[in-house]
Amino acid sequence: MNQRMVEFIRALRAAGVRISIAESQDALKGALEIGIGNAAFFKAALKSALVKEHRDADKFDYFFPLFFSANQPNLEDINDLLTEEQRALLEAAMQALAGDMDALRALLQRLMDGEPLTQEELDALGEAAGLPNGSDMYQRAWFERRMMTQLGMSQLNQMISDLMEMLAQMGMSDEQLSQLEQLLRANMRGLSDQISQYAGQTLAQRMAEREPEERPDLLDVPFHRLSDRDIDIIRDEMRRLAARLRTRNALRQKRARTGSFDPRKTLRNNMRYGGVPIELAHRVKQKKPNLVLICDLSTSMRYMVEFLLTLVYQLQDQVTRTHSFIFIGDMVDVTMDMEENDSRVAVAKVMRNNPPGYYSTDLGNSLNTFAQRHMQTIDHRTTVLILGDGRNNYNNPRLDIAQAIQRKARRLFWFCPEPPAQWGTGDSDMHRYAPLSDGVFLVRNLRDLANSVDKILADS
């Protein structure tokens, strides 16, 4: 049992469930204490020890029967339920089925007898389907189909229909036909489930035998390579990431509460005292910034926008005020949405209300709308962040408005996922926007994004 438990835990780890050594030991102790007499209690004990995140519960439920079930389907012996007359009709009908169907007749007889597949038969089917070469659970359905094809399940389905039609011609009543067909198809599903269970158990065993792959830090995975599971994990980690940035910035604020010592200004101010430093001078202390976020919400940028908005609004105690705008074809003010709800709820609402669609990015038109309606959100204390790749679908980039924003703001920065080598290629106007800004941060992953936001806060 201990070996089976270890294999089960290794398979869960291979499937992406985080399980520590201590949690593995807790599971083994729980299994020893509960025992396997009560399957429900045994499963609950393992689940409470191994599953600590809600999203992993389904994986546990998926793998548990693959390691802790006998794989013996509950098939009904149909012959015992038939009368002598019905058995005679059935035998005559099966003999009358034409064609080279010896293998199918044997399979049909197996259904009648309620006889499951033996381990040797399952191994032979798996070998013929190439199951020993399988390596991951996503291949399960493919191997199941191949094994069922090897067994002849699709032809058997048609054979049952033909048998029912022949029995009807021989005079069997509709009620008896319906009952017999239900029993045959129930046993057929039992064999299918046995094949499915075998394929799943084999693949799970292969996953448990291989060494777990070292997973990269999600902070360093490029945005375009993140899976749906990775995105869910990052969403859960955003609060932790924001807390680290908040702590770092709070420490800077504490050190700069009275401003840092300015030796040059101190010497200049104390010339009247003959150079004796009687009056100490300090640099201006760090102040919280005003932010204006302008985010490209086109399909290729959506995850970056989601993470930036979430991160910035979880750091609202570190800024004076934030105005937020998103655009695809035109500029949309989402400031109220972000201020009225929790950051995760607010970002989800913004994403839901502004879905991707069959419309193209037009930053020039969006900047024009911003200049007409929202230019008052910028003053000499404002830091403007534009998150986008500068690709404008060959529309007018409105460089004049970008330049006006840069002149009016304290600083204008770009967060861009494309390196300089790609600027100016295709429909990119990034090479024209970059000189009109105070800097471009290359943001390809979550670490780049966090470091860039941290630099903005430090620069305040």
Q: Are residues 141 and 22 in the same domain?
A: no
Q: What counts of helices (H) and strands (E) characterise the chain?
A: 19, 6
Q: Are residues 16 and 90 in the same domain?
A: no
For the segment 367-414, what is each residue's pLDDT rounded down to a tens digit?
999 999 999 999 999 999 999 999 988 999 999 999 999 999 999 999
Domain membership flag for residue 337: yes
Q: How many CB atoms lie within 10 A of CB 430?
A: 22
What's the CA gap between 71 and 117, in Å, rounded? 10
The answer on pLDDT for 100 being more than 50 is no
Contacts of 167 by beta carbon, 8 Å cutoff, 6+ apart = 89, 90, 93, 177, 180
Domain membership flag for residue 277: no
pLDDT (0 to 100) of residue 239: 81
Q: β-strands 439-442, 411-416: how paired?
A: parallel
The answer on pLDDT for 223 being more than 80 is yes
Report percent pLDDT > 90 for the chain.
25
pLDDT (0 to 100) of residue 215: 65
Q: Which two tokens stand for residue 166?
A: 């022949």
What's the CA gap between 415 and 201, in Å, rounded? 47
Q: Are residues 21 and 159 in the same domain?
A: no
Per-residue burial over 374-401, b if 16 or more Cβ lie within 10 Å, else e, is beebbeeebbbbbbbbbbbeebebbeeb
Encoded amino acid at 136, one letter: D
Q: Are residues 383 and 427 in the same domain?
A: yes
The answer on pLDDT for 254 being more than 90 is no
What's the CA gap between 447 and 347, in Å, rounded? 20
Q: Are residues 198 and 95 in the same domain?
A: yes
Contacts of 169 by beta carbon, 8 Å cutoff, 6+ apart = none
For the segment 151-164, what is each residue's pLDDT rounded down to a tens digit?
888 888 888 888 88
Q: Are residues 43 and 85 in the same domain?
A: no
For the segment 32-79, what is each residue's pLDDT rounded down to a tens digit?
888 877 888 888 888 888 888 887 888 899 988 888 887 777 777 777
- Report the predicted TM-score, pTM, of the whole model to 2 decimal places: 0.58
Tell me which residue of 271, 137, 245 sits closest to 201, measured CA to CA: 137
How many domains does the chain fold into? 3
Mean pLDDT over all residues of the chain?
Answer: 84
Q: Are residues 200 and 349 in the same domain?
A: no
What number is the average pLDDT over the span 337-352?
Answer: 87
Q: For the CA atoms of 449, 451, 457, 460, what is the dihedral angle to 10 degrees?
A: -110
Q: Are residues 297 and 428 in the same domain?
A: yes
Domain membership flag for residue 280: no
pLDDT interval class at 253 (50, 70, 90) = low
Domain membership flag for residue 427: yes
Domain membership flag for residue 18: yes
Provide the terminal-to-terminal Cα distance of the chain, rounded to the nearest Å: 60
For the segment 287-322, what is each residue's pLDDT rounded down to a tens digit?
678 899 999 998 888 888 999 998 888 888 788 889
The answer on pLDDT for 256 being more than 80 is no
What's the CA gap between 137 and 383, in Å, rounded? 49
Q: Are residues 199 and 294 in the same domain?
A: no
Q: Are residues 424 and 338 in the same domain?
A: yes
**How many residues does the structure list for the chain?**
460
Domain containing 292 — which CATH number?
3.40.50.410
Domain membership flag for residue 222: no
What's the CA gap between 172 and 89, in Å, rounded? 8
What number is the average pLDDT over the span 430-444?
Answer: 94
Whether 440 and 413 have beta carbons less than 8 Å apart is answered as yes
pLDDT (0 to 100) of residue 435: 94
Per-residue burial over 5-44, b if 16 or more Cβ lie within 10 Å, else e, is bebbbbbbbbbebebeeebbebbbebbeeeeeeeeeebbe
Q: Are residues 245 and 343 in the same domain?
A: yes
Q: How many CB atoms lie within 10 A of CB 335?
A: 16
pLDDT (0 to 100) of residue 287: 67
The answer on pLDDT for 346 being more than 80 is yes
pLDDT (0 to 100) of residue 101: 59
Q: Are residues 89 and 235 in the same domain?
A: no
DSSP bridge partners of 104: none
The answer on pLDDT for 258 being more than 60 is no
* Residue span of the structural domain in which 107 resides: 78-209
The answer on pLDDT for 102 being more than 70 is no
